[in-house]
Chains A and B, each alone.
Chain A
Amino acid sequence: MRSSTSFSVLAGLVLLAALALFPLIGSRFGIDLVTKMMILAIFALSLELLVGQTGLVSFGHAAFLGIAAYTVALMTPESEPASIWVVLPAALLFSGGYAFFVGALSLRTRGIYFIMVTLAFAQMAYYVFHDTALGRGSDGIYLYFRPDVSIGDWRLIDLDAGNTFYWFVLASLAFVFVLLSLIVRSRFGRALAGIRVNEQRMRAAGFATYPYKLAAFVVAAMLAGLAGFLSALKDGFVNPELLSWHESGAVLIMIILGGIGSLWGALLGAFAFVLLQEFFQSDPIFGEFARHWQLTLGLSIIACVALMPQGLIGLGRQLGRRVSLRRRLRHA
């Protein structure tokens, strides 16, 4: 156990350094792509807490990302930036608030019901932004200014300057990863794991499991809200498709691609998914089929789930085991 933790920390630091230095060598397109990967990684990590740790499969997680994104866009005036100390907490509050409402109702259901109900509630949020005056319709809303990060007159960070936003996203990703690592090994996280493995047993021991699940649901939603906040800032634009169930499906694919039950899996899965999407959509390689990239994606998902149920991390572990076995045999 101990060696894998120090390996994890080392790998984390290496990745952090690599990502931090990337803007110095990357193209505009590359930086944009990696920013997108990092934001989706935060999104995937948030879902990992819910699905991988607690065992609650939600098919409506995109709603929380979308609500936060819309909050930022709606709260930023057209003529000047809003203060980050206002919009960021507001974004997290609204996504967390909706999660509280959805969780309170849907966590009384089990298994398959839960999946369907979370999907339905995400659709409800989608329709709020798509049909009602609040969301200004399917055309979406523009975010004219990234939030102002200052205390009084002193400007701390200028999110519009150069690569500052990229490093801001990187810092957020690092923060989320560390936070979740702490949660996972804390008493709260262990209780969530117990609920995942055998909820009945946990109740028999004396845990009231509903509040734990609700807490996990809200925390996961708020972290997804952070991803939504960053997403709005990155694109300068929000539209209802952020809440579509295709997005909820995509993030589920990310964590299963990377490997459920591992924070690294969620991170790698997000990175891999974005790269795959780019790959499938590229004209030179797929020609005619690039337009129908969803077909290739669909087939890949089926292949991935059928052949690689443990995801990339599982493959990595298998490889690691084979390498160490061979090493052991050689030295025997």
Chain B
Amino acid sequence: MIGELGQLSLCFALALALVMAVSGLMGAQAAGSIARKVATSSAMGLLVFVALAFGVLTYAFVVSDFSVLLVADHSHTLKPLVYKISGVWGNHEGSMLLWVLVLSLYAAMVAGLQRGGARLTSAALGVQGLLAAAFLLFILLTSNPFLRLDPAPFEGGGLNPLLQDPGLAMHPPMLYAGYVGLSAAFSYAAAALLVGEAGWTRAARPFMLIAWIALTCGIALGSWWAYYVLGWGGFWGWDPVENASLMPWLIATALLHSALATEKSGAFSTWTLLLAIAGFSLSLIGTFLVRSGVLTSVHTFASDPTRGFFIMVLIALAIGGALALFAWRAPSLQGGAAFAPVSRESALLLNNVFLVASCACVFVGTLYPLVLDALDGTKISVGPPYYALTFAPIFFALLLLVPFGPRLGWKRGDLKAAWRSLYPALGVAAVAALVVLAIVSPRGLAATGAFAVAGWLIGASLIDVRKRQGARASAFAAALAHAGLGITLMGVAGTTAWRSEALTVLAPGQTMTVGPYTLRFDGVTREKGPNYVADRAHIALMNDDRAQTMLLPEHRFYPAEGQDMNDTAIRTTGLRDLYLALGDDRGGGRYALRAYVSPLAPLIWLGGLVMALGGFLSLWGRLRVKEPEAQPAAPAVALAAE
């Protein structure tokens, strides 16, 4: 019965989404005040029904209702509760339902906050309703999560063990909050084109920020997961699925910067619209890449061509429609701000050029092999060396320029003064480079350069924080986010340049050394987990012949799924990780063991966290400012635009 309730909720949700689309677009007319009310309430209703459907599916997973096909295929009674719940989105159908849930959540936020004019908000709700309807249709027609199975089996098929992990349980909701959050920016941009309202960036900014924060956290989480699960200590593999999340992040970052200029002085108004469209388009393309089976990896649960085709049509309609709207309406929105070549505006534009080029690099690297294979059957693979030669220099150049931006005034900046105020940061960079050259071995040009740039970024941010005490939250936010880049850069450079590793086969009682550590292998025991059996290695971290700490990497076997998985043991000092992964059984109690020492590895994710914190601070500053206080700024914007 409960499954049918979910099905019914989805049908109601589809109806409400259609009502919301129509009434929202009607409400975009000046006279549509009733339609506007309908759009607002149907946005709330949409959230209620999608949440109900999602709740029903979650309930079916929690109680292991195997009469629901999806639950029977992807769950198991012995799974811990957390993974029963995360199993809801650990499959194609459920993850699409999560996608629509997040979309509805943003629609409800747009309706609830009513930022921007009534007509703008209404049109944005209309566009959001169209998106929701399209995805609900996709779910109901090709990916129904509530299909029944008769007779119901006694036991389910289980969940891919790779997905049974706290990091990956949280990864998809976080990433979707980002992907789909860009839909709000997209809807506002389309609404601005429809209504002809230039002030949309102000209304949409909180949503852009939420999306950006969620994407930042989602990417960091995914990278951290890859680090501790895949067993070789890598944190980013330029895997197409990782790339699919990086592209929207790069464009969202560009959008945040460009929208700032549009809001402040009316500059780049059409460009900002285009970025908002591009950001969500890349989210859609990312979904297509991951879900359609074009790429095969852990993340691809579905390899069903009809689904791929449906998503492709959906993407073509969304992107094509938005671009057509843009081509039709954008020329009438031309703001045409005036600013000097040396100004904050120019700096933000330059930032966008580099970010878009970085994104193009990831885009081409991800899609070129697919296109080439389709065109002439040539199979090539694009791996890290490609990105090291293309993405790295472009992004590096961007990082070099970052500290100048916040130091240049709007309209007209003083480059000399900016340069002078950056002398201390230059000092920090030089010191960082010298320290690397003097203390650490092996010396490397790349590591030295990376640390110099990290010092440059962090130094500049520190000056910002010191100089602008009492200044607005946004200045601190930018300083934090930019410092986060420097911190991540240190982590990446440190791990890449100075990682040491040891690969050894050990018998019980034997020791190995890796970096500064000595490890003693004390044998393997057989352990029983809730839904797996594990070979657990007992490895003592030695300190002068005494076992200081025990590290317990495991090799797990999940009988329900018939799959193996590694559980690494990581001991971190906060600045350096000792990382252990258990390898094969070599007979006679001997096991292969991989050990890595990754200096500064934790900084990679710490930097991500600091960036997200910067985003939060900016969001907090935005939402704290009450609209009446913000009003005086609006005429200034309008004047500047003229």
A, B co-complexed: no
